[in-house]
């Protein structure tokens, strides 16, 4: 599932393919991806020029010369792909952006959990979801003390809070799972029980895990880890419950946190510092 590194990959491809270019034609199929918007609003982008493609957390934000904007979220299976003239059609294409040289950038999305929306650029910046987005985990990582202040406001489990886009923008299940493993912090620790030292380790681990995943994605095509059995899972612990811990060889455990499965090592990521706090919370509830 696309998280910050995969969306950053999409941003860099889109900048190469469309940055500074005028669109000859845009057509959107009336699918769930455009959420009931009129395909005519997309068609009206014909003749407009893409001036910039930015990323905010897991969102892509395009700016046009007309001051219109396009906001895209890749959902679970969305991606942008470019097809040169004469190449086979793209399966599950939902929105198509045709360049003046005939090349077409497709938004393809088999499961249609993604979202593409057009509005004035300034409106996109000042309304949800961008309005409430936290600092970008890659471009504007908060200092340890800022991150600590944000985490300590919450009684939720640290993994859930790290995935909350209003706290920190860009992490999903993969990056939160990986970062907590690297930081040796149990994913179910209560966020308000973390020490400054632990938050410092989490902050470093996030940067490290994002950089590692970013470096894995090159070229013009990307395959998400869930998409194909042929793609080897490249992560340390994500999706690897029951496999040996890469650090101590103990079989990895898993638990569901906030509806998402988290793999972790109970030896390298001990629960004990948070157990007491959590026990108290449960009795109170
Ligand atoms: Zn371990």
Catalytic residue, candidates 21, 260, 271, 275: 260
**What is the Å distance from ligand 1's center to 48 Cα?**
53
Instruction: Return the SS3 of 236.
Output: coil
Is the model's pLDDT at 275 over the cut of 60? Answer: no
Ligand 1 centre and the CA of 248: distance in Å? Answer: 4
- Rounded to the nearest angstrom, the distance between the alpha carbon of 265 and the centre of ligand 1 is 5
Question: pLDDT per residue over 4-53, tens digit each?
Answer: 999 999 999 999 999 999 999 999 999 999 999 999 999 999 999 999 99
Structure tokens given for 73:
């979220």
Q: For residue range 57-70, list pLDDT tens digits in order.
A: 999 999 999 999 99
- What is 116-162 written as a DSSP string? EEEEEHHHHHHSTTGGG---BTTTSPPPHHHHHHHHHT--SBHHHHH
- Check whether 280 has a pLDDT greater than 50: no
Pick the catalytic residue from 2, 141, 142, 187. Answer: 2
Residue 260 a catalytic site member: yes
Whether 3 sits among the annotated catalytic residues: the reply is: yes
For 14-45, give one letter per residue: b (16+ CB within 10 A) or e: bbebbeebebebbebeeeebbeebeeeebeeb
Residue with tokens 């040796």: 184
**From CA 59, how far away is CA 12, in angstroms rounded?**
13
Q: Is 254 considered catalytic here?
A: no
Is 150 in contact with 196 (CB distance < 8 Å)? Answer: no
Considering the candidates 11, 55, 58, 156, report the single residue annotated as catalytic: 58
pLDDT at residue number 279: 39
Q: Contact, 61 vs 54, CB < 8 A?
A: yes
Of the two residues 276 and 105, the one the predictor is more confident about is: 105
Q: How far is the CA of 266 from the centre of ligand 1 (A)?
A: 7
């Amino acid at each position: 599932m696309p998280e910050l590194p995969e969306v950053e990959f999409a941003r860099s491809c889109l900048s190469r393919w469309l940055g500074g270019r005028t669109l000859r034609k845009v057509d959107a199929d009336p699918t769930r991806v455009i959420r009931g918007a009129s395909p005519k609003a997309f068609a009206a982008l014909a003749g407009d020029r893409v001036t910039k493609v930015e990323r905010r957390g897991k969102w892509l934000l395009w700016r046009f010369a007309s001051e219109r904007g396009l906001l895209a979220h890749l959902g679970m299976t969305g991606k942008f792909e470019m097809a040169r003239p004469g190449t086979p059609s793209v399966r599950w294409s939902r929105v198509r952006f045709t360049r003046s040289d005939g090349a077409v950038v497709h938004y393809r999305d088999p499961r249609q959990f993604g979202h593409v929306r057009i509005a004035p650029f300034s409106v996109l910046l000042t309304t949800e979801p961008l309005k409430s987005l936290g600092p970008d985990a890659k471009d504007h990582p908060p200092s340890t003390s800022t991150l600590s202040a944000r985490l300590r406001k919450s009684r939720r489990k640290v993994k859930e809070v790290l995935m909350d886009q209003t706290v920190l923008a860009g992490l999903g299940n993969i990056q939160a799972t990986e970062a907590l493993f690297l930081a040796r912090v149990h994913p179910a620790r209560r966020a308000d029980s973390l020490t400054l030292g632990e938050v410092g380790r989490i902050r470093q681990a996030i940067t490290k895990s994002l950089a590692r995943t970013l470096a894995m994605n090159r070229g013009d095509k990307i395959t998400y880890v869930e998409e194909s059995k042929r793609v080897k899972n490249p992560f340390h612990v994500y999706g690897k419950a029951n496999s040996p811990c890469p650090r101590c060889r103990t079989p990895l455990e898993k638990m569901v946190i906030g509806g998402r499965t988290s793999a972790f090592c109970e030896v390298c990521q001990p629960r004990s510092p948070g157990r007491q706090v959590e026990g108290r919370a449960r009795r109170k509830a």
